[in-house]
């Protein structure tokens, strides 16, 4: 599969997506219901996914699905590569978002979608662990984006307050004590976020397990863009 797909992924000829979030389970991997049943040399996938980035434009989808015969949900999930033209694989509506419009988000449906068993990524039942390991990096990237966007917004707001006069006094808004309080509060939160994220970047590069901390960083930094 590496020889078949990776050259196109690198050149940009193949757009990929990862399908794990479901309508009834959200991002709770253990709660997913999409099934993958082996039948000889094939695997039959049934279920649906939602909020899938690149869902409409993807040529190749990595689908997380569960073996219904395995009781332990953490050991039942495997990852499968599904090509866009595979029978039984259809795409739903384009979901509207507040931002990041250049990356489409969509619903995906699988109805008796049959693929070769050799399209399974890694060992059977290791999908949960594989996803969790990569979610650390994904959440860290989200936190980095949150910090940089918040810094840019803060820079823009500060410049605006320096250049815009208060109608009553004629002085710049930045001379107002109330405005200064707000700017200092926002600056403090943004700097705390950057310090935390930079620490996590270093620990991630050292291959430390910081999955909890990256989740905390994503929680802290992304709302700062809206304050």
Rounded to whole angstroms, the Cα distance separating 22 from 47 reads: 9
Do 28 and 72 form a contact (C-beta atoms < 8 A)? no
Do 151 and 159 form a contact (C-beta atoms < 8 A)? no
Active-site residue set? 138
CA dihedral 54, 57, 62, 66 (to 10 degrees): 80
Pair type for strands 89-94 and 60-66: unpaired
DSSP string for 127-151: HHHHHHHHHHHHHHHHHHHHHHHHH
Instruction: Name the one residue in this structure whose structure tokens are 């953490």.
Output: 74
Rounded to whole angstroms, the Cα distance separating 142 from 214 reads: 9
Biggest CA–CA distance in the chain, Å, is 80
């Amino acid at each position: 599969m590496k020889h078949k797909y990776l050259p196109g992924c690198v050149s940009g000829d193949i757009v990929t997506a990862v399908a794990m979030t479901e309508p009834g389970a959200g991002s709770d991997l253990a709660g997913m219901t999409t099934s993958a049943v082996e039948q000889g040399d094939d695997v039959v996938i049934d279920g649906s996914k939602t909020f899938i980035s690149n869902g409409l434009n993807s040529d190749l989808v990595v689908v997380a699905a569960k073996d219904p015969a395995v009781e332990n949900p953490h050991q039942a999930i495997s990852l499968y590569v599904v090509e866009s033209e595979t029978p039984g694989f259809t795409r739903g509506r384009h979901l509207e978002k507040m931002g990041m419009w250049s990356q489409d988000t969509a619903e995906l449906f699988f109805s008796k979608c049959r693929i070769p068993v050799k399209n399974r990524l890694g060992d059977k039942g290791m999908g949960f662990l594989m996803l969790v390991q990569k979610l650390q990096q994904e959440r860290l990237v989200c936190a980095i984006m949150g910090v940089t966007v918040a810094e840019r917004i803060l820079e823009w707001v500060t410049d605006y307050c320096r250049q815009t006069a208060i109608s009553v006094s004629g002085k710049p808004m930045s001379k107002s004590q109330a405005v200064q309080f707000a700017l200092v509060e926002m600056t403090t939160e943004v700097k705390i976020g950057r310090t935390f994220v930079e620490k996590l970047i270093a620990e991630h590069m050292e291959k430390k397990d910081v999955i909890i901390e990256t989740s905390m960083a994503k929680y802290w930094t992304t709302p700062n863009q809206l304050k």
